[in-house]
Amino acid sequence: MTTNKPHVGVLALQGDVREHLAALESAGARVSAVRRVSELEAVDGLVIPGGESTTMSRLLDVFGLLEPLRARLAGGMPAYGSCAGMILLADKVLDGRPDQHQLGAVDMLVRRNAFGRQVDSFEADLDFAGLAEPLHAVFIRAPWVESVGADVEVLATVPDTPAAGPAAGKIVAVRQKAVLATAFHPEITGDLRVHELFVGMVSAARA
């Protein structure tokens, strides 16, 4: 029944919202866009999409969502952030704006726009923990993770090959408890496995 599906929202202030909604629905979730506190309160889990992290940070404040979202994350709500979403979920960011807000949901240091400034758009096949086959990842002005805390699981790194340049070996997917983050955009490749993983995390949290 539809009501038995986990209800996953996508933060819809800015960024690639429709692609995430479609991928989540295909992965077995009941989906909705989240722009208001009441909509945030109604979901079992939340995706923070790619976009522009400083703009999204400002809009969280403007729409009165910043502190309610921090509270729900602190209370254990599952969340998944891709690209800009990864930046917002981090507790520390390099190259961010002084007035940029962080959600502090993952104990990691993220370098904002690392791919955009250093290697531009980039694609790679990644070994992703828990997935049997490599995952084709697309990075668009993406961050990467410089370091993680002891409780953070590293799920994927860029292959250490000459073609990867300065991105070689960098961390690009992590998980801490019920929070998942990737530097890349699985919503645009047609590969649903990251979204299926997250929907499974939301279902487990509900149970």
The yes-or-no verdict on residue 3 having pLDDT over 90 is: no
What is the model's pLDDT at position 118? 52
Of 94 and 2, the structure prediction assigns the larger pLDDT to 94
146 is catalytic: no
pLDDT single digits (tens) 157-176 = 999 888 777 888 999 999 99
* Phi-psi sector, 125: left (phi>0), alpha (psi -120 to 50), beta: beta
What is the model's pLDDT at position 75? 97
Q: Could you tell me which residues are beta bridge partners of residue 154?
A: 174
3-state secondary structure of 43: coil
The yes-or-no verdict on residue 9 having pLDDT over 70 is: yes
Q: What is the CATH number of the domain that holds 33?
A: 3.40.50.880
User: Mean pLDDT for the chain?
Assistant: 92
Pick the closest to residue 40 from 19, 11, 15 (CA basis). 11
Query: Could you give the number of structural domains in the chain?
Result: 1
Cα–Cα distance measured from residue 173 to residue 104, given in angstroms and rounded to the nearest whole number: 16
Do the Cβ atoms of 51 and 84 come closer than 8 Å?
Answer: yes
The yes-or-no verdict on residue 1 having pLDDT over 50 is: no
Q: Using N-to-C axis directions, what is the helix angle for 193-206 and 17-26, rounded to 10°?
A: 70
Spot the catalytic one: 19, 187, 195, 196.
187
pLDDT single digits (tens) 103-155 = 999 999 999 877 765 556 778 899 999 999 999 998 888 899 999 999 999 99
83 is catalytic: yes
pLDDT single digits (tens) 79-109 = 999 999 999 999 999 976 777 889 999 999 9
The yes-or-no verdict on residue 76 having pLDDT over 80 is: yes
User: Which three-class secondary structure string do you get for 86-141?
Assistant: HHHHEEEEECCCCCCCCCCCEEEEEECCHHHHHCCCEEEEECCCCCCCCEEEEECC
3-state secondary structure of 72: helix
What is the model's pLDDT at position 162? 80
Spot the catalytic one: 20, 101, 185, 195.
185
Spot the catalytic one: 19, 20, 83, 101.
83
- Find the domain containing 148 and state its range: 2-206
Do the Cβ atoms of 113 and 96 come closer than 8 Å?
Answer: no
The yes-or-no verdict on residue 2 having pLDDT over 50 is: no
What is the model's pLDDT at position 116? 64
